[in-house]
């Protein structure tokens, strides 16, 4: 059983991280804590994707080693696929990080508006004020 867990421990870590984020989003009443939970959730997904691109056995970062101009000039440079890790998850997660920054920024702006109107960021207090005033 322990061997089974250790052989794929990276996925277990992402599952735990994702569940922490999900719990913060669903269970917490403070809106800022919900937002932090969303960021933890996104971090778990980003780490998951990056770990998919890993190759064991001497693979390095996906930047071409050696004289790039000479290799380009001669045309067919022989590039060993096993010596570079997978660049595709890195590209996709670059896009995902940018989108997560955008969503976090917009969410913080919305939180500022909510605080200006209700003077609190606790969800239950906001719902109580809405019920009492009918707004």
Partner 1 sequence: MKVIAILIIVLTGALLISGVEDMPDWGDPNSPANSHVSPKYIQEALEKTATPNMVTAVLGDYRGYDTMGETAVIFTAGIGCILMLRKKRKGEGD
If binding is defined by CB under 8 A, does position 19 make contact with partner 1?
A: yes
User: 65 to 94, contacts with partner 1 by CB under 8 A?
Assistant: 68, 71-72, 75-77, 79, 81-82, 84, 86-91, 94
Closest CA to 53 of 22, 81, 28, 78: 81
CB of 21 to partner 1, least distance (A): 10
Cβ burial of 47 (10 Å; 0-12, 13-18, 19+) is: middle
Choice between 94 and 119, CB closer to partner 1: 94
β partners of residue 60: 84
Choice between 84 and 120, CB closer to partner 1: 84
Q: What are the b/e assignments for 5-38, b being 16+ CB within 10 Å?
A: eeeeeeeeebeebbeebeebbeebeebebbbbbb
If binding is defined by CB under 8 A, does position 127 make contact with partner 1?
A: no
- Which residues have CB under 8 Å from 48's CB, separation 6+? 11, 14
Choice between 49 and 120, CB closer to partner 1: 49
Residues that bind partner 1 (CB under 8 A): 4, 7-12, 15, 18-19, 22-23, 26-27, 29, 51-57, 59, 62-64, 68, 71-72, 75-77, 79, 81-82, 84, 86-91, 94-95, 98-99, 102-103, 105-106, 109-110, 112-113
């Amino acid at each position: 059983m322990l061997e089974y867990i250790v052989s794929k421990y990276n996925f277990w870590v992402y599952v735990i991280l994702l569940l922490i984020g999900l719990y913060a989003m669903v269970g917490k009443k403070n809106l800022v804590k919900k937002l932090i939970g969303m960021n933890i959730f996104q971090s778990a997904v980003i780490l998951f994707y990056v770990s998919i691109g890993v190759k064991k056995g001497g693979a390095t970062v996906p930047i071409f080693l050696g004289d790039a101009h000479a290799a380009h000039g001669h045309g067919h440079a022989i590039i060993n696929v096993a010596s570079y890790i997978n660049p595709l998850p890195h590209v996709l997660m670059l896009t995902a990080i940018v989108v997560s920054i955008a969503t976090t920024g917009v969410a913080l702006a919305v939180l500022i508006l909510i605080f200006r109107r209700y003077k609190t960021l606790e969800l239950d207090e906001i719902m109580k004020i809405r019920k009492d005033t009918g707004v």
